[in-house]
Structure 1
């Protein structure tokens, strides 16, 4: 046999081996990147790719699938300890900052900021501009003349009627820098959440912003259940509940969809005692449930209200105070879980009903599916059986993330217990 023939055979064998390996890679890759469970998808704003249209957040890493916005409301950063404590608690974004904040510290620590005006020393850390907070409440739905004053400062609209909230939003947005690659954000309140009809509320949601949130403090606002019963016909036995926070996100998404375009809707959750007339601060399990239910209802970011105006620990820095160590511990662990799940949370969800008594979300990434579940409002705590979609029914067990346990799958479903109205579980299913 000639050396040329031998070399040719060796070459053919090598090519065959390479092809076999390549086919194996393709098959393995197809399995690990499965993205179709044969189910419809929820309406989608684009996930991390949405931020790619804005130069500033894109440059700050917001388009990275491993990034999920976790913000804190109206903080101050004046020394290294401030930002270090916030990062250790799992925060990555400041939504409004005091005028004396050191933007260089924010920037050098890899944090992002959304502020209501350019602050001294600001730069690449500032990814967006905040137009207003609760213009739907302090000024109301209308194009009247705005005095430039906010609630509690005197007469807001001149005259009082018609309301002037749209005017306030336009005026404030016009004062902000334009076409600089930063997004525009606003927070709303009970105006769009319950006081106003769709026609009035949608002009706030769809007229000015690239990202929005709504704050309704279901656990700590003493008057919220009465208002919800009046405006939303929400029965008292379904208030306050963690599930109500998800309903606020739903309301924002419903209004946002009315113009045929979608923007990320963030959740707003209190950390302490936000009202002077409140009875108490939020508890740790309530905080975790409120955040998780918001995520289940497709919140694309979380903002914490970090101020306590009453109770035993008045402060504007709940997450930094020794007297609030308990809630800091809960928030830190919760934020760690969100960061761990960020690549999953940043995928488009599927539509599937696992159990009629549960709020659920289904996502799929790298060959595994993830089920987020907790009780619906009005559903009593206890065991629930979750029915898997057909594409996952062959799984023999599910892993309960963060709880170090697994559950057997039988007849295409599995059963677990939800001990409280704010209990949640996250399951990983790998067929």
Structure 2
């Protein structure tokens, strides 16, 4: 999360919390063929389902999250990382952009303003937290600054001195020590964000230990569009088979989701995995790109297609022509804010669909796709995959999706269904279409 730069620019950051899996129950994985209760009310397809943690019912196990309405099928987490909330005007700006959750807040933020504004929080443990706080933030990128080891943590954070005693990595001990500082069974989830250690550098066993032993919700922040190193370093994107020519591509945000979901499944239990998307220029290096509104939309849609249970926006510019800690509030976000606002509007309108268990179906091997059913209709999310999928593409439908046409949501058009297929055009690597079919 560009932690060192964040510590320089946002000196108030203090992360203080973590927990063990025993503090809060984890939902078991759902068998791929088992229909959800919602889907049972629709015309179920005769095909397997994607394993999931349970959707809105997962949050019902946590009293604070349930009381805050996270178990409502019409709620979908849309968060912003490390904001400052001082006055109602701050909340008003964030809500106007379609946000509903703060993920980490500055120490000077006013939690009463957050609560009165109807926003949610997933933040470090603090005395003024109330019903608005649905999760404690364990820490950020411990996998990177603590490392995958059982050495002893000194209690110091980056920039404060030696982190691990006896020269050994101590990331597991960091989370273990911080776990004991949280109240047990207080009705809140335990959330952590990880980085390149879990994604690229560590063995599967080491990475899975980070992902599974301390949390009930997780995320990972790999910025494929803007990171100056991820496309060129042999120790980063290449580790997941990403070639330089296909690196700055929306579909790789879905690859991040796949890696996290695979690691999460290794213990036989599933938890929500959230996606991190940058909205500006999060790196200070001169050769670092700036993300565009279309790329933000593509990265977000790719993450959703690969089963993201929430979208979290990184809201800081550490480089480029406009330095900011509030890209979605101030003038630095002029180029992207309208697009993000519209994107969030679409996601919110689709929350009852996104909060259902997906079906497995291969529409086209060059496309990334997701199939869902809700309220008698079927929804197909589609966009180019990691190595192809632009131009004219054909999507082969399940036989149960017999209809004469499919509505293309948010585009004011329809496409014909001919011979059991849809044919449509994907102009750019970040282009996406969402189809609704009513058999």
Same fold (TM > 0.5): yes
**Alignment match, 1:154:** 161
Is the CA contact (8 Å cut-off) linking 2:39 and 2:357 kept in structure 1? no
- Are 1:237 and 2:245 an aligned pair? yes
Q: Structure 2 regions of 5+ residues with no counterpart?
A: 1-37
Count, aligned residues: 399
Partner of 1:422: 430
List alignment gaps of at least 5 residues for structure 1: 1-29
| Residue aligning to 2:32 | none
Alpha carbons 2:383, 2:389 under 8 Å: kept: no
Residue 47 of structure 1, CA deviation: 0.0
1:311 match: secondary structure: coil
Displacement after TM superposition at 1:123 (Å): 1.0
Tell me the equivalent position of 1:296.
305
- Return the alpha-carbon distance in structure 2 between the equivalents of residues 203 and 390 of structure 1: 42
SS at match of 1:379: coil
Q: Secondary structure at the match of 2:348?
A: helix
Shift of 1:229: 4.7
Q: TM-score, normalised by structure 1?
A: 0.90
Trace 1:26-425 onto structure 2 (pairs within 5 A).
33-120=41-128, 122-161=129-168, 163-227=169-233, 228-277=236-285, 279-379=288-388, 381-392=390-401, 394-425=402-433
Task: Specify the SS of the correspondent of 1:169.
Answer: helix
- Point out the structure with max Rg over C-alpha: 1
Deviations 1:353-398 (A, max 9, x none): 0011000000000110000000111105211100110100x21000
Q: Distance in 2 between matches of 1:266 and 1:151?
A: 25
Task: Tell me, in whole angstroms, the C-alpha distance in 2 between the residues paired with 1:34 and 1:358.
Answer: 26
Task: State the alpha-carbon separation in 2 of the partners of residues 144 and 107 from structure 1.
Answer: 39
Looking at structure 2, the residues matched to 357 and 70 of structure 1 have their Cα atoms a distance apart, in angstroms, of 29
Contact 2:369/2:383 (<8 A) preserved: yes
Greater share of residues in helix: 1
Is the CA contact 1:103–1:119 (under 8 Å) kept in the aligned structure 2?
Answer: no
> TM-score, normalised to structure 2's length?
0.89
Report the alpha carbon displacement of residue 33 of structure 1 after superposing the two structures with TM: 3.3
CA–CA distance in 1 between the matches of 2:359 and 2:94? 33
Instruction: Report the alpha carbon displacement of residue 322 of structure 1 after superposing the two structures with TM.
Output: 1.8
Shift of 1:175: 1.6
Preserved contact between residue 403 and residue 437 of structure 2 (Cα < 8 Å): yes
Distance in structure 1 (CA, Å) of the matches to 2:121 and 2:430: 30
Q: Is the 8 A contact 2:39 2:373 kept in 1?
A: no
Q: Using the alignment, how far apart are the partners of 1:190 and 1:365 within structure 2?
A: 36
CA distance change for structure 1 residues 370 and 309 in 2, over 3 Å: closer, same or farther? same
